[in-house]
Structure 1
Amino acid sequence: MGLSWQQGPLAPGAVGHFLTPASLPERLLFAERLRRRMRVRFHDTWIADSEQVTLLHEPGRYPVAYFPREDIDEQALVESGKVTRHKDLGDTAWYAVRADGRSAERAAWEFTALPPHAAALQGHIAFAWRAMDAFYEEDDRILGHAADPYHRIDFRHTSRILEVRLGDSVIARSDHPLVLFESGFAPRWYVPRADIDETRLRAADGQTFCPYKGLCDYYVIGEARRAAWAYRDAYQEVGLVSDLVSFEPDKVEVSLDGVPLRLEPGQNVVPHGIDRGLDAHEAA
């Protein structure tokens, strides 16, 4: 998903490689100005508001937004005395965040001993996403984590035949599935419900949340748990996928034009980072 995780070019499991004569460092960090106004709300108080946010892409993590100290309400930050060490960026000082009598411990951090090549982050502070009430770009709330400008979703309609079986039973067969191409993931094939024997789908407990597509529901097929899923009401930007169903090829038999599909690298979502742990509650 994006530049630095799943199978992005800076991720540990990158699907491609840089064509260079010498080996690149094992870890490459990338920082850039976001070029969008970003704000942070905590306890109904705007504690940060900046057009100079720096986005840090770190291998194996979602991007993290760093705000210049001058664009942060200094009264909201309380030094905790806790210092840890980042393997690439040195000493990390932690802060509690407070507003109107409410506080969140270790909810913000700053690199205080940056190497010269990382000076772009000097005097910048990041906020733990789940500890804050909300983050906004302009007046739109951003859910889950800072939006990755390198994350992309494309849809393509196709007339290829997609078939889903469980043993001798046909669960789905479609000659007009929709294929979803998403940064850092293998292609996913979605089937209209009219082409599915929905009597074979049983709702599974629990939902997950994608910052780019919305809430995801899961289905049990036979004894296979979470063998299929659907975004029943996907975000408007990706509305083509709303209420279509995709099937997990390692749990049921999925074929495309008669060729069996296999679970490919990059198809499993792996959450990263102490301030992540995305779940359905993020959509609240």
Structure 2
Amino acid sequence: MGLSWQQGPLAAGSIGHFLTPEPLPERLLFAEPLRRRMRVQFNDAWIADSENVILFHEPGRYPVAYFPREDVAEQALVPSGKVTRHKDLGDTAWYAVHAGERTTERAAWEFTAPPVYAAELQGRIAFAWRAMDAFYEEDERILGHAADPYHRIDIRNTSRTLEVRLDDSVIARSEHPMVLFESGFAPRWYVPRADVDETKLSPVEGQTFCPYKGLCDYYDIGDASRAAWSYRNAYREVDRISDLVSFEPDQVEVYLDGTRLHLEPGQNVVPHGVDRGLDASEAKGR
């Protein structure tokens, strides 16, 4: 998603390319000031609070927030003695995080001697997302990973005709679907439920979670597993797709103005990041 994730400009599977006379390095790292106040909560204590956070992007990873050590509670970090090595930035020291009666091992890290070109990460601490209770920008909780300022969603009305078929059955037909454009992904088409034969949708157990859209429910259609999905209560930023249904073009036949759509390369969501996977449990309490 965004700058370095999925098919973003710095991702290994980028859909575009930089127009330069010489090839760029295989891996491009990018760091920038977040310019937002960010806080970390652990065991009911604020263990980090900073307006000087650096957001670090590397290929195939979610963006990670790095806090100046002086903005981290003095007693919160307990050296673990564990050192690993980052392929670009060198030795990485790991810490347990401690507050009150609670301690979590390998919950924070720092680059102990980054190369000169990455000197702005020197003396900064990152926290494992799932090991913390919550991350906040000002007083609003941020879910999934540090917000990527390059991730964008645009939703548009259209008068094009979308039809969904499986074998000889029409599952949906709409002359007013919505199209969702999301950074790093091909367009996704959403259909009002009034235009869907819901008798053909079989709800399945298990939800997934998108930090930008919310909790997602899935449906089987005949033998086609998880062939449709819906954000029943999408986040307010994207509430135009709330309770609409979208269909997977590699599971069922999806036609746009008579032309069949196919799953584009890189369209599948990769749910893992630098230190965790995205799952629905984190979003339940939003």
What range is the shorter-chain TM-score in? over 0.9
Counterpart of 1:235 in structure 2 is 235
Counterpart of 1:178 in structure 2 is 178
Give structure 2 stretches of 5+ with no counterpart.
none
2:3 touches 2:11 (CA, 8 Å); kept in 1? yes
Cα distance in 2 for partners of 1:172, 1:113 equals 57
What code does the residue aligned with 1:123 have?
A: G
Cα distance in 1 for partners of 2:125, 2:260 equals 48
Greater shift in the superposed pair: 182-191 or 270-279: 270-279
Question: Does 2:59 correspond to 1:37?
Answer: no
What code does the residue aligned with 1:11 have?
A: A
In structure 2, the residue corresponding to 1:237 is in which secondary structure? helix
Counterpart of 2:206 in structure 1 is 206
Counterpart of 2:272 in structure 1 is 272
2:65 touches 2:146 (CA, 8 Å); kept in 1? yes
Cα distance in 2 for partners of 1:103, 1:166 equals 53
Question: Does 2:3 correspond to 1:3?
Answer: yes
What code does the residue aligned with 1:27 have?
A: R
Cα distance in 2 for partners of 1:262, 1:190 equals 15
1:157-202 deviation per Cα after TM superposition (whole angstroms, max 9, x unaligned): 0000000000000000000000000000010000000000000001
1:144 touches 1:276 (CA, 8 Å); kept in 2? no
Cα distance in 1 for partners of 2:273, 2:93 equals 17
What code does the residue aligned with 1:44 have?
A: D
Q: Give 1:129-148 correspondences, 5 Å limit.
A: 129-148=129-148
Cα distance in 2 for partners of 1:143, 1:169 equals 39
TM-score scaled by structure 1? 0.99
Give structure 1 stretches of 5+ with no counterpart.
none
Give the deviation of 1:273 after TM superposition. Answer: 2.8
Give the deviation of 1:275 after TM superposition. Answer: 2.0
2:110 touches 2:126 (CA, 8 Å); kept in 1? yes
1:230 touches 1:242 (CA, 8 Å); kept in 2? yes
Root-mean-square deviation (CA, aligned residues, Å) is 0.6
Counterpart of 1:58 in structure 2 is 58
Give the deviation of 1:265 after TM superposition. Answer: 1.8
1:81 touches 1:93 (CA, 8 Å); kept in 2? yes
2:79 touches 2:94 (CA, 8 Å); kept in 1? yes
In structure 2, the residue corresponding to 1:75 is in which secondary structure? coil
Give the deviation of 1:65 after TM superposition. Answer: 0.2
Percent of aligned positions with the same letter in both sequences? 81
Counterpart of 1:83 in structure 2 is 83
1:80-130 deviation per Cα after TM superposition (whole angstroms, max 9, x unaligned): 000000000000000000101101100000000110000110100000000
Counterpart of 2:72 in structure 1 is 72
Give the deviation of 1:274 after TM superposition. Answer: 4.3
Q: Give 1:180-199 correspondences, 5 Å limit.
A: 180-199=180-199
